[in-house]
Chain A
Amino acid sequence: MEHAEYLQQLASQQWLIPLIPLVAAGIQALLKQRSRKLSATLTISAMALACLLALRAFFATLGGDHGDHHEVGRAFYNFTWFAFGTTKLELGFILDPLTAGMATMVTFVGLMIFINATGYMHDDVNFTRFFCFLSLFAASMLGMIISNNLLLLFMCWELVGLCSYLLIGFWYYKPSAAAAMKKAFITTRIGDVGFFIGILMLYHQTGTLNLYTADGTGALQQADKLATLAGWWGLSMAGTIALMLFIGAMGKSAQFPLHVWLPDAMEGPTPVSALIHAATMVAAGVFMVGRMFPVFTAGAGDWVMDFVMWVGCITAVFSATIAVAQFDIKRVLAYSTCSQLGFMVMALGAGGLSAGQFHLLTHAFFKALLFLASGCVIIGTHHEQDMRKMGGLRKYMPITFVCYVLGTLALAGFPLTAGFFSKDEVLLVTYHHNKLAWGLATFAAFLTAFYMTRQIFMVFFGKWRGGEAAHGHAHAKHDDHGHGHGGHVPHEVPWNMTGPIAILSVFAVLMGWLGTPWLGDNFFHHYLAPSEPAPHHSNLVLWLSIGVGLFGIFLGWFFYGRRPMEHATDADPLQAKLGALFTWLNRKWFIDEIYEATIIRWTMALGVLFRLVDKLVVDGLLHAIAWITWGISWFTRQVGDELIINGGFDAGCEGVRGYAKILAKLQSGRVQNYFRILCLGTAILLVVYFIK
C-alpha cells in the first residue's frame, strides 16, 4: 500500500521530466548566437537532471509486489485541462514499467548524444540553435512517453515530428537537406492522418482520451468492449482502431512503404541522426504501439496483428538487402535502423510486447553508439562520408574503432552482446507465431551481420584511401561546413566525442543480460509484461541465430577483409558477383523512383488538371464577375459619386469654411483679450445674480 502511494506521488510529478529540457530549450531560444558554452551547459545539465528523475521513476517501478499477481505496477495522475459546458478535456501522466524504461533510455542515450554533439557541432555557427532544437526534441519525446492521454500523446507526437523536421533541415541552405526535411515531414504526416482517425474513432467509441483512469473507464481499459463491436473491413472495432493507430506508427517508425524519409534524414548533422534513429523519432512509433498494445491484442481473431507482423518482417528483410549495397557510412546505418525497426514491429505483431520493447531499448544503445561513432569517423576524416574513400582508420582512430566494433557486434547479434539477447527474443516470439516470418527474419539477421562486417572492413581495415580522391571533385562536394583542412590524414577526435561512445559501448555489450532467459527469470520480460506468457525456449532458434550471425560475419570478412579495396575507385567485390542485382539494391529497389513515377506524378497531374479547372472555370467566373462589378462601379462613380455626392459635399464644405473664417477672427491670440472677455463675462454674471 505504501509503495502504491509512492508510485502515485511520482506519477503526479512525471511532468517534471519533460519540463526541464523544455525550459532549457525556451531559455536557449532567447540566447545570443555566441553564448555557445552556456547553451551546451544548459542542454546537458537539463538532460542530466531529467535522467536522474527518470532513474528515480525507474527504480520506483522496480520495487513493489506486482510480480505475484501478474500485474505491472502502474500509477497515473489525471487532471482537467479545460471544460466547455459539461464536456471536460482531461490530460494525464502515467508511470509504469513501459514509461519508466523508455524515459530512462531516452534521457541517458540523449545525454550521451548531446555530449558528443558538443564535439561534432564545434565549428558550426548556429551552435545555440542546434542545442535549442535538441532540447525541444528531447522534451517532446519525453512528454510523449509520460502521457496518459492520447491528446497529450498526439501533441507531443507532432512536436517530435516538427523537431525532426527542424533538425534534419538544420543545414537548410543545402538543397538536399531542405528536400529531406520536407520529405520526412510529409511522409510521416501521411501516417499521422491514420493515427488521428484512430484517435477520433477511439474517442467516439469510448468517450474518453485517457488511457487509464481510476474508475476503469480509460480507453485501454475498455479495449475488450471494443472487440465485441463491429468495425470496418471485417475487423472488430478494436481491430480497426488498432489498424489506424498502426498506420501512424508506420509513418513514424519508417515501416515499408512509408520508410522512404528515414535514409534521407541523414542530411541532418550526425548527432541528429543518432537521436532520430535511436532514442526519439523512430522509437515513438514502436513505443506508441506498445502503449496501445491492449487495443491491438483485444481483437485477437483479427488480421491486424498479422498485418503488423508482416509489415515489420517485410521492412526488416527489405531494408537489410538495401543496406548491403550502400556506400555512404550513414546510409548503411540508416537502412539498418529501418531493418531493426522492422524486427521490433514484427515482434509486437507476433504478440511479444516485451521482446519488441527490449529490442527497442538495446537497439537504442548500440545504434546511438554506431551513429555517434560514424560521426567521429566523419569528423576524423574531415567530413568524408563515402566508405570507399576511407579505409585503415583503425590505426588513426583506435578508440572509435574499438567502440565501433563493439556496436557492430551488438547489432550483428554476436553471442552474449545486447543485440544477441534481444534479437533472439524477437526471433523466438516470431518462431512460435509464424514459421515463414521467422525464416525471413533470420535471413535479415544474417544480412545484418554481413553488411555491418562489410562496413567495418571498408572503413577501418586496409589502407587509407582518402588522400587520392582528395584532389578530385568528390572532396569539394563534402566540404560545405568549414572545418580546418590541414592535411588529409585522419585523426582521432577529442574526448567529448569518444567519451560518450565508450560509455554507450559498455551498455551495448552488457545490457542484454537484463533480458536473458538464462539467469532464472527473464528480468525484463517479468518487469514489463508479467502477464504475457514467456515464449518457450527453442534450441533451433538459438543456434540458427548464432549460426547466421557468425556466417554473416565470415562472409563479410571473405568478401571485404581478405583482400581489402586498394583504391577508392575500385568496384565493390559484391558488384562483380551480383551484377545488376547490386545496382538494384544500391538504388534502393527504385522505391523512390517508383513513388516519383506513380504517386508523385499522379498528384502532379491532378494538380495540373485542377490548375486548368481553376484557370478556365473558377477564374473565368471570377473575371466575369469582376468585369461586371467594374462596369457598375464606373457608372456609379460618374453619376452618383462625382455628380451628386461630391457636388453636395463640396457645397457643404464651402459653407462651413465661410462661417469658420468669421469665427476665426474671435481668436486673436492675445492672452489679455481673452482675459478681458472672461472678466467682462464674470461681471455680467455677477450683476445678473445680484439683480435677481
Chain B
Amino acid sequence: MSITLGHYLALAAMLFTIGLAGALTRKNAIIVLVAIEIMFNAAILNLVAFWHFKVFTTLTAQMFAMFSIAIAAAESAIGLALVIAIYRHYRSVDVDEMKTLQG
C-alpha cells in the first residue's frame, strides 16, 4: 500500500483535532501552548504534503512552511515567557485563574 496525499491529510487532520481539543480543555497553560504548537505543525504538514504531491508547482508552499516554522518558534518563545511571567505573579499556571481582564 502506497502512502497517498489522503493519508497525509488524514494525519494532519488528526493532529489538528488533538491540538484543538488540548487547547480547549486543558487547564495548564503550558499544555495549552504545546497543543497550539501541534496545531501549527498540522498546518505545516499539510503544506509540505501538498508540495510533495505536486499540487503546487512553485516553491511557495516550501517557503510558507519555513516561515510558519520560524513564526511558531517565535510565538512559543513569547508564549513561554508570558507563562513564566504569569507564574511569578500568580504562583499558578491555571488558565482559568487568569481572568483579571473581565467586564
A interface residue numbers (CB < 8 A to B)? 663-672, 675-676, 679
A663 and B102 alpha carbons, distance in the complex (Å):
11
A548 and B32 alpha carbons, distance in the complex (Å):
112
Known: A679-B20, A679-B24. A672 touches B103 (CB 8 A): no
* Cβ–Cβ contact A668 & B102, under 8 A: yes
Tell me which residues across on chain A come within 8 A of B103, comparing CB atoms: 663-669
A666 and B24 alpha carbons, distance in the complex (Å):
18
* Cβ–Cβ contact A669 & B95, under 8 A: no
Given contacts A669-B98, A672-B24, 8 further A-B contacts (CB under 8 A): A664-B103, A665-B103, A667-B101, A668-B103, A669-B99, A669-B101, A670-B102, A679-B20
Q: What are 25 A-B interface contacts by the 8 Å CB criterion? A: A663-B103, A664-B102, A664-B103, A667-B101, A667-B102, A668-B103, A669-B98, A669-B99, A669-B100, A669-B101, A669-B102, A670-B95, A670-B98, A670-B99, A670-B102, A671-B95, A671-B98, A672-B23, A672-B24, A672-B32, A672-B95, A672-B96, A675-B23, A675-B24, A676-B24
* Cβ–Cβ contact B99 & A668, under 8 A: yes
B96 and chain A: residue at smallest CB distance: A670
Closest chain-B Cβ to A381's Cβ sits at a distance in Å of 76
Per-position contact with A for B1-18: 1 when CB-CB < 8 Å, else 0? 000000000000000000
Closest chain-A Cβ to B18's Cβ sits at a distance in Å of 14
Tell me which residues across on chain B come within 8 A of A679, comparing CB atoms: 20, 24
A604 and B20 alpha carbons, distance in the complex (Å):
90
Closest chain-B Cβ to A658's Cβ sits at a distance in Å of 14
B27 and chain A: residue at smallest CB distance: A672
Tell me which residues across on chain B come within 8 A of A676, comparing CB atoms: 24
A670 and B103 alpha carbons, distance in the complex (Å):
11
Tell me which residues across on chain B come within 8 A of A669, comparing CB atoms: 98-103
Tell me which residues across on chain B come within 8 A of A675, comparing CB atoms: 23-24
Closest chain-A Cβ to B99's Cβ sits at a distance in Å of 3
Tell me which residues across on chain A come within 8 A of B96, comparing CB atoms: 670, 672
Closest chain-A Cβ to B96's Cβ sits at a distance in Å of 6
B99 and chain A: residue at smallest CB distance: A669
Closest chain-B Cβ to A82's Cβ sits at a distance in Å of 54
A237 and B83 alpha carbons, distance in the complex (Å):
90
Tell me which residues across on chain A come within 8 A of B102, comparing CB atoms: 664, 667-670
Tell me which residues across on chain A come within 8 A of B20, comparing CB atoms: 679
A667 and chain B: residue at smallest CB distance: B103
- For window 46-72 of B, CB contacts with A under 8 Å fall at none
Closest chain-B Cβ to A657's Cβ sits at a distance in Å of 13
Tell me which residues across on chain A come within 8 A of B100, comparing CB atoms: 669
A665 and B23 alpha carbons, distance in the complex (Å):
23
Tell me which residues across on chain A come within 8 A of B24, comparing CB atoms: 672, 675-676, 679
Tell me which residues across on chain B come within 8 A of A668, comparing CB atoms: 99, 102-103
A670 and chain B: residue at smallest CB distance: B99
Per-position contact with A for B72-103: 1 when CB-CB < 8 Å, else 0? 00000000000000000000000110111111
